Amino acid sequence: MTKKEQFLATLNDQEKKLIKNGEVEPNPFSLCWYYKVQSEYAAPKEAERMERRKAELYGEWKTIGLVE
């Protein structure tokens, strides 16, 4: 399995849609940046959900060796 396939396997349907529509590049940095920027403009509960998801994904990526 390639690194890109490993990355895509960690994503939910909404995140895959963002990549498919070209809103986010298919790499960990771009998705983390997307969540960071979007959470700044979201309601507090939604921003908290986004930050939790970003942390969850980062942990998964670290486990499989996509990020250090």
pLDDT in tens, the chain (68 residues): 899 999 999 999 999 999 999 999 999 999 999 999 999 999 999 999 999 999 999 999 999 999 98
pLDDT of residue 68: 85
pLDDT of residue 41: 95
Positive or negative: CA dihedral 11, 15, 50, 54: positive
pLDDT of residue 8: 94
pLDDT of residue 1: 84
Radius of gyration of the chain (CA): 12
pTM of the shown model: 0.87
Amino acid (one-letter) located at 36: K
Longest dimension (CA), the chain: 37
